[in-house]
Amino acid sequence: MSRRVLLAKVGLDGHDRGVKVVARILRDGGFEVVYLGLFNTPEGVAAAARDEDVDVVGISMLSGAHLTLAPAVVAALRALGLDIPVVVGGIVPDADLAELQAAGVAAVLTPGTPADEIVATVTSVLA
């Protein structure tokens, strides 16, 4: 059975180059990709994750709002009783990694991560 991943931009940031590239990398890496597009709320992402029955959620952020929005996505999923892992992609300073991990984020992919490592990371959080 093919693994399903939901990708979304959360918040007001419209930079979508990265998330679209990652969507194609994951698709080429054997994932079924549901791309939710721009300007999603954490609650909207959680509801879509439930409706689309995905195995992993990836959210992309470049505006510096990750410390606010990524924990909110995790919390919105858990509030629906979903234990789906959340991966954050985008510009995240090293200093913020521990805080995101503590908030329940399964992995963080920063700029320059090679394609095979992206596929491997998303695969590993499902294990």
Partner 1 sequence: MSWQRSEPPRDPACENAGVTTNRERWQAAFDAAPTRDADFATMSGLGLDPVYGPDDGEFPGEYPYTRGPYASMYRTKLWTMRMFAGFGTADDTNQRFKELLRAGGDGLSTAFDMPTLMGLDSDDARSLGEVGRCGVAIDTIADVADLYRDIDLGAITTSMTINAPAAVILAMFVANAEEQGVARARLGGTLQNDILKEYQAQKEFVFPPRPSMRLVRDTIAFCTAEMPRWHTISISGYHIREAGSTAVQELAFTLANGFAYVELARQAGLPVDAFAPRLSFFFNAHIDFFEEIAKYRAARRIWARWLRDRYAATDPRSHQLRFHTQTAGVSLTAQQPEVNIVRTAIEALAGVLGGTQSLHTNSYDEALALPTDHAARIALRTQQVIAHETGVSHVADPLGGSWFVEALTDEVEQRAEAIFAHLAELGDGSLLEGVIRAVEEGWFQSEIADAAYDFEKRVNKGRRTVVGVNDFFEGNDAVEPALLRITQADEQRQRARLDAVRGARDEAAVAAALRALGERAADPDANLMPVLIDTVRTRASLGEVMAALAEVFGRHVEVPRI
Name the site residues for partner 1 (rule: CB under 8 A): 11-17, 20-21, 23-25, 27, 33, 35-38, 41, 63-65, 67-69, 91, 93-95, 110-112, 114-116
Shortest CB 36 distance to partner 1, Å: 6
Shortest CB 125 distance to partner 1, Å: 21
Nearest residue (CB) to partner 1, 43 versus 50: 43
Nearest residue (CB) to partner 1, 25 versus 77: 25
Instruction: Pinpoint the alpha helices (H) of the chain.
Output: 17-28, 42-52, 66-79, 97-102, 115-126
Shortest CB 9 distance to partner 1, Å: 9
The total number of residues written for the chain in this structure: 127
Nearest residue (CB) to partner 1, 42 versus 83: 42
CA angle 83, 37, 16 (to 5 degrees): 110
Which residue do the tokens 């940031």 mark?
13
Under 8 Å between Cβ of 5 and 31: yes
